[in-house]
Amino acid sequence: MKIASKHPLIVGTASLILATVAMYGCQDFLEKAGQPQGTLNEQTLLNKAGVEGSLIAAYRAVEWNNGVGGAWGNAASNWVWASVTSDDAYKGSEASDQPPINDIEAYHWSTADAESYLNQKWRGTYEGVVRSNATLRLLKQIQAKAPAELSTADAAGIEGEALFLRAFYHFEGYRMWGSVPYYKEDDTDFKKANDTPADVITKILADLDAAIAKLGPAPRNGQKGRASQWTAKAYKGRVQMYAGQYAAALITLRDVQANGPYGLETSFDRVWTGFQSAANGPETIFAYQASNNDGEPNGNDANFGERLNLPHGTSHSSCCGFHQPSQNLVNFYRVDAAGLPLSISNPANWNASNANFTATTAVAVDPRLDWTVGRDGVPYKDWGAHSPAWIRAASYGGTYSPKKNAHEIASGAESSVGWVPSQLNSVNIHLFRYADLLLMLAEAEVEAGSLVNAWNIVNQIRTRAGVRAQGCGLPPSSEAAARAALVAAYPQCASDTRIAVPINDPSITWATYRVNPYPVPFASQAAAREAVRTERRLELAMEGQRFFDLKRYGTMVADLNAYLKGVGGGNERARRPYLPAAEDPGAKHMNFPIPAIQIELSKVGGAPRLKQPTGW
């Protein structure tokens, strides 16, 4: 594990041993002379290195994946929970691979298969809580027993970061289950009952306020992956939006916009990328700091939770074809003659096409389509033109591939170690980015009646979307077959290695890209609300936000039933052979069920402390 002061925070697995002792005080397992075997004496952690290592372990749980003790259900991006359950994506791949996700996609959330993944997410969420609280306890012990060990600034920073992480993990639980128990560092009862959703929000905001008071304006030690005061302020605004506290969120988010260190990237291609020159750029608020070739021998510090989500077959990654964009999502990127969303100007027919949306489909699209979706005949960053041979089972998961999480060959972001290293890269996984925050601010402006402010924000996002589009991205000679196929299809690309080009570049013959700002302010609050929500989907698609957005809008039941049964002239039950068997989303699907094993483990005197969300 490397942590250099001028580099991002690398949350490697080497630090996990430091957290083990701080987290668990068992005295009855492999115990000898009062000391659990295979662990360090807790006294050895009562120093700066010990508490810093414990804090790093708390960050590591942001993606507690298969490589470090967790599982696919703990992918940092929440692709299983917020993309596949929404209108953005199908599970993809084929029916026999990772079957628990079949039930999750079909809203059969009380099955044993679905429960296995839900338990992964629950365990990962509370693993993060436990590690955050372990750090806070250890910090208190050091301050009591060795007060000279830490400077005032370091002690405040460690405490602030741990409080932020505790809030972050409980917020993950809130987004999933609504009513969850809230644990603090001095708790001794580990079978607590659920707090109400309102109480969870109150406690998250209290932790964030405490973190804001402790943290400095810049990441500690110059390590950009660490939470700063502005990270905590941005999350405070986000939590307020989830709670429907629009007036309070407006104050918080306006402060971040006016005074914070964040800004939009100059072009959309720089948001999701393997190029280190764009990593942790101005748009990053909080991200999983993927790292590879850093000494970890199995590539477990890379984007392990996303490794299933790359093209299959003859593609360079060769596997595994999960998280495939839906036909509904692809159609959503269509625009009208004015370069505005067709879903708004033609609500009856924008989703009518069931056809594979290839490079030969002669309709105008928002250029963000081809930064988000891999579609046949269109260059896929610099890996050559996306091919039908890259799809694992088109009759099952459709014809499209995810693209944001893919790296560029030229970035050098691919792992050189681990099981199938071509699936692993160091593309940071955005958990909250500035465009997301701006669009939340636009929502708050709409609810406050400040429609011109919302209009300006949406147009800022749309203007950035039109700066660059997918270019030829000629692959290097090492990818000879892909290179030859691209040149055969597009002779103009014979020497053009540019991945991103101006939207009207003459090299582009695989799409008609068009995106323009809204020419006049929104005419009504309802129109403004629709425009902002539309922009959020266009901007944040496939980033693990969509289901949670629909849930907090209060439109999840209506929107997902429309997705399945018919909206804009098309429906997914007619497009995917397994979706006719999907359950109709209902009010109970506003929250996921708590895993039954966790209900069982919460029993005291035979009665469970934990209660299921309504309907489960």
- Cα 269 from Cα 307, distance rounded (Å): 20
pLDDT at 345: 98
pLDDT at 41: 62
Cβ–Cβ < 8 Å for 60, 165: no
Instruction: Label residue 482 by pLDDT band (50, 70, 90).
Output: very high
State the CB neighbour count (10 A cutoff) for residue 91: 29
- Cα 221 from Cα 90, distance rounded (Å): 41
Instruction: Using the predicted structure, report yes or no on whether residue 494 has a pLDDT greater than 60.
Output: yes
Instruction: Label residue 568 by pLDDT band (50, 70, 90).
Output: very high
Instruction: Using the predicted structure, report yes or no on whether residue 450 has a pLDDT greater than 50.
Output: yes
**Residue 296 DSSP symbol:** -
Instruction: Using the predicted structure, report yes or no on whether residue 502 has a pLDDT greater than 90.
Output: yes
- Locate the domains of the chain by residue range: 13-60+108-285
Q: 473 pairs with which residues across the strands?
A: none
Instruction: Using the predicted structure, report yes or no on whether residue 15 has a pLDDT greater than 80.
Output: no
- Percentages (nearest 5) of helix, strand, coil residues in the chain: 45, 10, 45
CA angle 481, 484, 490 (to 5 degrees): 140
Instruction: Using the predicted structure, report yes or no on whether residue 1 has a pLDDT greater than 60.
Output: no
pLDDT at 26: 30
- Cα 41 from Cα 490, distance rounded (Å): 64
Q: Average pLDDT, whole number, for the chain?
A: 93
Long-range contact pairs involving 243-250 (C-beta distance under 8 Å, separation at least 24): 243/198, 243/201, 244/552, 246/443, 246/444, 246/447, 246/448, 247/444, 247/448, 249/440, 249/441, 249/444, 250/441, 250/444, 250/445, 250/447, 250/448
Instruction: Using the predicted structure, report yes or no on whether residue 239 has a pLDDT greater than 90.
Output: yes
- Cα 374 from Cα 84, distance rounded (Å): 17
- Residue range 236-256: average pLDDT? 98
Cβ–Cβ < 8 Å for 23, 130: yes
Lowest mean pLDDT among 17-21, 70-74, 574-578, 592-596: 17-21
- Residue range 183-210: average pLDDT? 98
Contacts of 213 (CB under 8 A, 6+ apart): 160
- The C-alpha R_g of the chain, in whole angstroms, comes to 24
Contacts of 258 (CB under 8 A, 6+ apart): none
- Cα 52 from Cα 151, distance rounded (Å): 13
- Cα 501 from Cα 517, distance rounded (Å): 20
Instruction: Using the predicted structure, report yes or no on whether residue 457 has a pLDDT greater than 90.
Output: yes
Residue 103 phi, psi (nearest 5): -70, -35
- Residue range 233-246: average pLDDT? 98
Cβ–Cβ < 8 Å for 613, 593: yes
The verdict on domain 13-60+108-285 having CATH code 1.20.1250.20 is: no
Distance of CA 459 to the CA centre of its chain: 24
Instruction: Label residue 9 by pLDDT band (50, 70, 90).
Output: very low
Token look-up 């939470």 returns: 227
- Cα 432 from Cα 469, distance rounded (Å): 23
Per-residue pLDDT of 151-182, as tens digits, reads 999 999 999 999 999 999 999 999 999 999 99
Instruction: Using the predicted structure, report yes or no on whether residue 11 has a pLDDT greater than 60.
Output: no
